[in-house]
Amino acid sequence: MSKAQPSPISYDFLPFGIFPNSEALLSAPSMATLKMIDIAVNFTDGMFKGIYNGKQYHKGDIAAVLSRAWSSGVDRIIVTGGSLEESKEALAIAETDGRLFCTVGVHPTRCKEFEDSGDPETHFQALLSLAKLGIEKGKVVAIGECGLDYDRLHFCPPEIQKKYFEKQFELAYATQLPMFLHMRAAAADFCEIVERNKSRFTAGVAHSFTGSDEDCAKLLSVSGMYIGETLLSL
């Protein structure tokens, strides 16, 4: 890489009313005629601090990315939490602007953090406490990003992914928040777990979906499930 490019925004957009608990979103400033939310912005990624492959290429540019997003018609942004620490950072970022919100959860490639903590239940309770704090602040609007990713098993084996994906339905049930879900090369197990836990969450969006038409139909048969419009997936 000879020259780092400005940090990109993501391309997961959904109609404004998809989140059942969107009162906080509705009350935020600067309403647009066509209200779209970017639901998958990874502002906790090092690229937004100007860091690529461990090397600093430019200053942090979240402010510039946000300015570009607002001027392009994005009305609200949900910052993705992918681990306990990232979820804390996502909440801190969300508190800087009335149009920013966030999720709390653990990405499938990070699920080893539950067991690496030495006490998975305490780790889970820390996530739950953070989610409740963020709800009180009007900033946490979904549980996630959680799910299954079998394309990158070098980060986390499938059995651990499945165990802690299922565990995070407890977060959704306890908070009554929708779920921001990740499904990559894991359609059969993902659909099975969602079906088994469909009574424990109010709604969900499957992001990074790589399944077949049949898998899509199976997911959409679950009440409150949607498929995210993902135009770019690495």
Which uninterrupted H or E stretch holds 15? strand 12-15
SS3 at position 130: helix
In a domain, 58, yes or no: yes
182 appears as a binding residue in the annotation: yes
In a domain, 24, yes or no: no
E-strand ranges in 99-203 read 100-104, 140-149, 179-184
And the tokens for 202? 């109010």
Partners of residue 52 on adjacent β-strands: 55
pLDDT, one tens digit per residue, over 34-50 is: 777 899 899 998 788 88
Is the pTM value of this prediction over 0.85? no
In a domain, 93, yes or no: yes
**pLDDT the model gives residue 93:** 97
Q: Range of 43's domain?
A: 36-226
In b/e form, how buried is each residue of 86-113, taking b as 16+ CB within 10 angstroms?
Answer: bbbbbbebbeebbbbbbbbbbbbbbbeb
123 appears as a binding residue in the annotation: no
Provide the sign of the torsion angle of the four alpha carbons 181, 115, 120, 117, taken in this order: negative
**pLDDT the model gives residue 47:** 84
**pLDDT the model gives residue 16:** 42
Distance CA 217, CA 212 (A): 9
In a domain, 103, yes or no: yes
107 appears as a binding residue in the annotation: no
**pLDDT the model gives residue 228:** 75
**pLDDT the model gives residue 173:** 98
∠ CA 96-99-103, nearest 5°, is 80
The CATH number assigned to the domain holding 66 equals 3.20.20.140
Reading phi first (left if > 0) and then psi (alpha if -120 to 50, else beta), residue 118 is in left
In a domain, 1, yes or no: no
- Domain total in the chain: 1
CA 193, 136, 18, 223: dihedral to nearest 10 degrees?
Answer: 30
**pLDDT the model gives residue 177:** 97
Which residues of the chain carry a pLDDT beneath 50? 1-11, 13-18, 20-22, 30-32, 233
